[in-house]
Chain A
Amino acid sequence: GENVEQHPSTLSVQEGDSAVIKCTYSDSASNYFPWYKQELGKRPQLIIDIRSNVGEKKDQRIAVTLNKTAKHFSLHITETQPEDSAVYFCAASGTDRGSTLGRLYFGRGTQLTVWP
């Protein structure tokens, strides 16, 4: 099955700086890569996703890049704000109808802290 690794596990930045979280995956057939944000005590919520036919996607201060050859994808947050502080999870979705279609594999999460 798929294996998703996420780094770093913790990240501290100064307000206004950029933050980058990286994930690698093992299954070259994976084709959907969402990022979820989970604030303390809350449920995970999707912030951005990318499909394998696209190399980069941006939404205001958030962007995701995908390198299919190297099998890694990254979340970039620019001009960070204290309200960006949360745990961020990357994920990869299986595509093999025989065993992995429908399964979503999450990384272990990155605790991002943005200091004022």
Chain B
Amino acid sequence: EAQVTQNPRYLITVTGKKLTVTCSQNMNHEYMSWYRQDPGLGLRQIYYSMNVEVTDKGDVPEGYKVSRKEKRNFPLILESPSPNQTSLYFCASSPSVNNEQFFGPGTRLTVL
């Protein structure tokens, strides 16, 4: 089944404790992206990758890191999480730029 998976789906952590949210797609898509969704603010792009080893900042990259060492995986890393990073995070993939994006199920993160 073609899909985008994220893990974990829910996470409660404390300020400063490094964490990684994994994202994987099995559709051989070149383009992958991370978004955060906050009430009243819609979806905001954190980082995106147009191909392996190529990553770029989106609208809100501060406090986040990503890597794209292989086509299928695009992990989101929070080196030192803070409470303002409490949010719902979505990973998405697409065959190419300017094409339908397929979203993962989301990761709800709470930073205390």
Question: Known contacts A43-B106, A102-B31: does B101 contact A109 (CB below 8 Å)?
Answer: no
Q: Which residue of B lies closest to A6 (CB)?
A: B42
Asked whether, in the complex, the Cβ of A102 is within 8 Å of the Cβ of B56, the reply is: yes
Asked whether, in the complex, the Cβ of B56 is within 8 Å of the Cβ of A107, the reply is: no
Residues of chain A lying within 8 A (CB to CB) of residue B44: 106
Complex interface bits, B46-57 against A, C-beta within 8 A gives 1, otherwise 0 = 001010000010
Asked whether, in the complex, the Cβ of B103 is within 8 Å of the Cβ of A109, the reply is: no
- Work out how many contacts link A and B, with CB atoms closer than 8 A: 52
Question: Known contacts A43-B90, A43-B106: does B41 contact A104 (CB below 8 Å)?
Answer: no
Please count how many residues in chain A sit with their CB below 8 Å of the partner chain's CB atoms.
23
Partner of A46, one of B40, B45, B101: B101
B residues engaging A (CB < 8 A)? 31, 33, 35, 40-45, 48, 50, 56, 58-59, 90, 97-98, 100-101, 103-106
